[in-house]
A and B are shown apart, each in its own frame.
Chain A
Amino acid sequence: MSSTTVDEEVLMAEEIESKEGVGGADLGARADEIGATVGDYTVDKPRMTARGVNVYYEDKRAIMDVNLDIAENQVISLIGPSGCGKSTFLRCLNRMNDTIDVCRVTGEIKLDDQDIYDKKMDVVPLRAQVGMVFQKPNPFPKSIYENIAYGPRIHGLARTKDEMDEIVEVSLRRAGLWEEVKDRLDEAGTGLSGGQQQRLCIARTISVSPEVILMDEPCSALDPIATAVVEELIDELRQHFTIAIVTHSMQQAARVSQRTAYFHLGRLVEVGPTDEIFTNPVHKLTEDYITGRFG
C-alpha cells in the first residue's frame, strides 16, 4: 500500500482549497456541527496529556479547547484538512511555537505529570525529551557524523570519542541508515538523497534519546519508495519511543498509527483507535473527510 501517489495528495489538496475558497459559508455551518470531541481522548498509559489547549496567533484562535492524551509506545496520527491546526497543536507539544513572536498558548500540557508551560520549565531539556522531525528534511550543512553528534555534544551525552562514535552508530542504525552511510560519515549530510536526509534527521532526533518524537508530515517531501522506508522505520521506532505524527495522507495514518485524531477548524472532532476511525467513523465530518467527500 505504499503507492499513496503524489497525485492523489495533490488532488486532495486542490479539493481542499476549492472547498475553502468557494464554500466559506458552508464551512462556517460545519463549525457549528463540531461540538464536543467524539471518542475517548484519554488512554491508560499517557506519556503526554493536553487539557483545554487554546492557541492564538495575535487575536486569531487557531486551536480551541483541545483535550488529548498521547499513549506510551504508540503512534498517534493527527489528520485533518489544511489549516485545521494539527501542525500547530503538534508544535505546542515541545514548545516550538515559542519561536513565533505572535503565538500564545493557554491550557495545560503535561509530559509525565510535568506542566511544560510552567514558568519554571526550561525549554532546552524539554526539547531534548520531546524531539521533532520536520516536513522538509533539514540536515545541517555539516558532515553526516556531525549532524548526529550535534545534539549529544550540546547536551554533553558523550565524554569520549568512543562514546560519541557509539551514539552516532546506534542512532543511525535505529534510523535504518547505518548500512548506507557507514563508509562516508565525513561526507556532507546535504549530499544524501531526500529520503536518506529525512532518515538522517530522524537519527539526529533520536540521538539525544527523547521520550516522545513529533513528526510534522515527515514524508510529504519524499517519493513513494522513500516514504515506505520511513513508514517502516516509524513502526520500528514505536518500541522505544512515543510518536505523534501529522499527516495529510490518510493511507499513511492507517498504515503507521494505532490511534487517530481528526482535527477540523481548530477543534479536535474525533479521536479513537485507527481501525475504528477508518472503518466506522462516528462524527459526520470525520466520515466525510475519510471518505473523501470534502477536504
Chain B
Amino acid sequence: MQPTTLVILLLILMAIAYQFGMRRSVAVAGGPKNLRSLHSRPNYYGYYTAIWAGLPALIVVGLWAAMQGNFIIDLVIADLPPDVRSLPPERLGLWLNDLKNLAEGNIVSGEVSPALRAGADHYLSLQQTAAAAMAVVVLVIAVAGVSFAMKLISPKLRARNRVEGVVKVLLIFCSSIAIVTTLGIVLSVLFEAIRFFNMVPFMEFFFGTEWSPQTAIRSDQVGSSGAFGMIPLFAGTMLISLIAMTVAVPIGLMSAIYLSEYASSRMRAYAKPALEVLAGIPTVVYGFFAALTVAPFVRNVGESMGLEVSSESALAAGLVMGIMIIPFVSSLSDDVINAVPQSMRDASYGVGATRSETITRVIFPAALPGIVGGILLAVSRAIGETMIVVMAAGLSANLTANPLESVTTVTVQIVTLLVGDQEFDSAKTLAAFALGLMLFVVTLILNVIALHVVRKYREQYE
C-alpha cells in the first residue's frame, strides 16, 4: 500500500472516530438531555477520539518512512554475493545506486549482471513486504487508539483540556519549524565558513584589500594565486547601498508625508497602491532596466560632462536600487506617520501651527523611531539585493569610492563563486559561505538595531 493511500485511510478513520467518540460521550452522559453531566461538549470527545486514532499512527508512519530505506538497504547488502560486498564504500554506493535504478525501472549505468538483477528483485520484494507491514501496523495502532479512547470516555474525562493541549503542542511545533530552519541555515553556513577559515587565515579575509578568488584546479596551473580580502566587496556593497539610500530615503519620506498629511483620501486610495506596485516588480526586471537603460544613460551624461564613466557603474545600480526601495521606506513611514494620534495634530493646529510646522515639529519627531526602523529595514534589503548589482554594477572588485567606476558586492560575488564547475571543498566555493555569514551578521545587526530603536521609543506618545 502506498503511504499516501495509508494517510488518506487514516484521515477517514479519524472522521469515523470523531463520530464514534461523540456518540459514545452522549451515551455515557445518559442521552442528549443529560449533556450537562459531561465535562466537555460532545464534539470535544469526538476530537479526542480522532486524535487518539490519528496521532500515534501518523507518528509511526513518519518514523517508519524515515527508517525504512536504510533498513532495507542493509538487508539487501547482507544478502549480496561476497565479491560485491567487499567493494570499497564508494564503489558499493555506486553499485547500490544502479540496483535501485534497476528496481525502479530507470536507466542503469553499466551492464546488468545477474547479481545486480537478483539484488534488485530482492530489494523490490523487501520494499513490498515493508509497505504491507507498515500498513498493517499503522492501522492496528489506529484502531487500538480508537478503542482505547472509547474506553477512556467518561463524564469526568477533561476532553476539552486534552484537545486544547494537543492543539497547543501543534502550534508550538509549527512555530518552531521556522526557528529550527533558520538555525539550520545559520549552522550550515557557519560550519562551511569555518572550513574556509581553515584554508584562508581569518585576518587575511577580514582585512585583505584584494579580492581575486582564483584557486588552482591543478597544481601546475599558473596565474591563480587566490586572494580573499573581503574589504573591496564590503566597500562596494556600502557604496551602492549608500547611493540607493540617498535616493530612497528623501523620496520615500516625502511621498509618505504627502500621502499621509496632504493627499485627499481619494488621491491616497489611488497613489498608495500605485507606489506599492514598485515593490511588486521582480528585481531581475529592475536589473535589466538598470543595465540596459540607466547605465548607458549615466555613461552618456557623464561623458558629455567630460567625466570618465564605466559602462557598468555603481551609480546606475545604486539609482535603480534606490527606486526599488522607495516603497519600503514610504509604506513603512506612511504607516508610522498615520499611527501618530490625531490628538497630536489637533493640539498643534489648536495653537495655530501650520501644516508644515505640525509635520516638522510634532509629527516627524513623534514618528521618528518608526521611520528609522523602516529605513534600517530598507538598508538590510539594499545590502542583500543581488540581481540589480549583478546586471548593472559589474564583477570587478575595485576598492574605490568613485560611484562612476564599476564595483562589485558581496552578494554578486557569492553568485559568481557558486556558479560554474568547481569542487565544493575548494577555498573558492567555501569563500561564498564565509561571505554569506558576514552578510548575515551585518543584516542581523541592522535588524536588531532597528527593532530595538522601534521598541524603545514606541510608547512615547501614548
Interface residues in chain A, defined as those with a beta carbon under 8 Å from any beta carbon in chain B: 94, 96, 99, 101, 123-129, 131-134, 136, 138-142, 150-151, 154-155, 188, 190, 201, 204-205, 207-208
Asked whether A205 lies within 8 Å of B366 as measured between CB atoms, the reply is no
Given contacts A101-B264, A101-B265, A150-B361, contact A140 B344 (CB under 8 A): yes
Contacts of A207 in B (CB 8 A): 351
Q: Chain B, 440-462, contact with A by CB distance < 8 Å: what is the 0/1 string?
A: 00000000000000000000110
Interface Cβ pair total, 8 Å cutoff: 75
Given contacts A141-B365, A141-B366, contact A190 B350 (CB under 8 A): no
Main secondary structure of the interface of B (DSSP, over half): helix
A-B CB contact pairs (8 Å), 29 listed? A94-B350, A99-B345, A123-B352, A124-B352, A124-B354, A127-B349, A128-B351, A134-B346, A136-B343, A138-B343, A138-B344, A140-B344, A140-B348, A140-B362, A141-B365, A141-B366, A141-B461, A150-B348, A150-B353, A150-B362, A151-B352, A154-B353, A155-B352, A190-B460, A190-B461, A201-B347, A204-B351, A205-B350, A205-B351
A149 to chain B minimum Cβ distance, whole angstroms, is 11
Q: In chain A, what residue has the closest Cβ to B351?
A: A151
Given contacts A190-B460, A190-B461, contact A150 B351 (CB under 8 A): yes
Asked whether A208 lies within 8 Å of B352 as measured between CB atoms, the reply is yes
A202 to chain B minimum Cβ distance, whole angstroms, is 11
Contacts of B345 in A (CB 8 A): 99
Contacts of B349 in A (CB 8 A): 96, 99, 127
Interface residues in chain B, defined as those with a beta carbon under 8 Å from any beta carbon in chain A: 264-265, 341, 343-354, 357, 361-362, 365-366, 460-461
Asked whether A154 lies within 8 Å of B357 as measured between CB atoms, the reply is yes
B10 to chain A minimum Cβ distance, whole angstroms, is 53
Q: In chain B, what residue has the closest Cβ to A136?
A: B343
A126 to B351, CA, bound (A): 9
Q: In chain A, what residue has the closest Cβ to B357?
A: A154
Given contacts A101-B264, A154-B361, contact A141 B347 (CB under 8 A): no
A119 to chain B minimum Cβ distance, whole angstroms, is 18
Given A190-B460, A208-B352, list of 12 further CB < 8 A pairs? A99-B346, A127-B349, A127-B350, A127-B352, A128-B352, A131-B350, A134-B347, A139-B347, A140-B347, A154-B351, A155-B352, A204-B347
Q: Of A125, A128, A138, A154, which contacts B347 at CB under 8 A?
A: A138
Q: In chain A, what residue has the closest Cβ to B341?
A: A138
Asked whether B351 lies within 8 Å of A127 as measured between CB atoms, the reply is yes
Q: In chain A, what residue has the closest Cβ to B353?
A: A154
Contacts of A94 in B (CB 8 A): 350
A215 to chain B minimum Cβ distance, whole angstroms, is 11
Contacts of B264 in A (CB 8 A): 101
Contacts of A190 in B (CB 8 A): 460-461
A50 to B460, CA, bound (A): 40
Asked whether B352 lies within 8 Å of A154 as measured between CB atoms, the reply is yes
Q: In chain A, what residue has the closest Cβ to B457?
A: A141
A205 to B341, CA, bound (A): 19
Asked whether A96 lies within 8 Å of B366 as measured between CB atoms, the reply is no
Contacts of A201 in B (CB 8 A): 347
Contacts of B357 in A (CB 8 A): 154
A208 to B353, CA, bound (A): 11
Contacts of B361 in A (CB 8 A): 150, 154
A17 to B349, CA, bound (A): 32
Contacts of A154 in B (CB 8 A): 351-354, 357, 361
The listed residue with most A CB atoms (<10 A of its CB), out of B264, B366, B461, is B461
Asked whether A96 lies within 8 Å of B346 as measured between CB atoms, the reply is yes
